[in-house]
Amino acid sequence: MTLDYSIRPAARPSHRTLAESLTAVNARQERVEVRHGMPATPGWVTCASFLATPDAFARWRAGLARWLRTEYDESPDQTTAGYVMTWYMTIPAYVAALLFHHERRVPSLRPADLAFRTAYPRPHPGSIAVLSPGFACLPDDPAAGTPDALVVPDETALAGLLRGRYIEHARRFVDVYGPQVRFGRHTLFAAATDALDSSLWQAGRYAGDEGAGVLDAALVLGAREKPLTSGSTLRPGADGWTRRRESCCFHYLMERGQGECGTCPRVCPKS
């Protein structure tokens, strides 16, 4: 299917700083808190510190296992590993997708420049903070020419920069998490692919313009770029847009009578 980018209204930020942009986009969605700067309140951790802490993922999975047992009476090892691999990669994916969709800006996605705090009792990332004031933008951005702005020539270049920054964070995650779980690198990069594709789609959906989110996903993930495992898999479905997942979350292991999700790669063929 050919997507017509001319129908996507151009995002034009009216803000001078990234902090102002994050405040604006936070108000346009309700999924998680996104903000600039890490508060002094307990529970926050930078992605760099988290990735450098030997037992951080083990403790996260243990907390998730406790929650799953209260909800489903069991917590298979594959399921906690699957949830966490998706949840972690959603941190850089979602904040990047929101800023790209609404502001046509791309923040730093380095682990040292992102922080998060998990929610309670379901321990998903409930808050995400961008710590660096720097960002990439288009020539007509009101902050173009300021010290914090890296200007790129057009939307294609901006999308490519987002993808590249995201891949670098994903590589670091896979290097750290891979030895701790029974998943291969392909599965881990498949989860990273899912997180980015879904986040771009959801940024449009939550703003009331699902089609624009689909177009953003096609722009950022127009084709497979290794080590990601595919381009965008969004496609029209019976009830609107849907996508084929590249990775399995292993939720079906807790509801054995239900089987895999209809979009799971175990049951949904590639097209």
Question: Is position 264 within any domain?
Answer: no
Number of domains in the chain: 1
Question: Is position 3 within any domain?
Answer: no
Q: How far is CA 1 from CA 101, 204, 235, 269, in A?
A: 21, 19, 8, 17
Q: How far is CA 237 from CA 211, 243, 244, in A?
A: 13, 8, 11
Name the residue type at position 172: R
What is the reported pLDDT for 1? 43
Q: Which residues of the chain have pLDDT under 50?
A: 1-2, 5-7
Question: Is position 2 within any domain?
Answer: no
pTM to 2 decimals?
A: 0.92
Tokens of 37: 């700067």
- The C-alpha atoms of residue 27 and residue 49 are separated, in whole angstroms, by 28
What is the reported pLDDT for 258? 60
- The C-alpha atoms of residue 49 and residue 41 are separated, in whole angstroms, by 16
What is the reported pLDDT for 2? 46
Round to the nearest angstrom and report the end-to-end CA distance of the chain. 11
> What percent of the chain clears pLDDT 90, i.e. is strictly above it?
76
CATH number, domain with residue 25: 1.10.510
Question: Is position 180 within any domain?
Answer: yes
Question: Is position 185 within any domain?
Answer: yes
Question: Is position 269 within any domain?
Answer: no
What is the reported pLDDT for 224? 87
Contacts of 89 (CB under 8 A, 6+ apart): 169, 170, 173, 191, 192, 195, 196
Question: Is position 271 within any domain?
Answer: no
Question: Is position 5 within any domain?
Answer: no
Task: Name the residue range of residue 73's domain.
Answer: 15-254
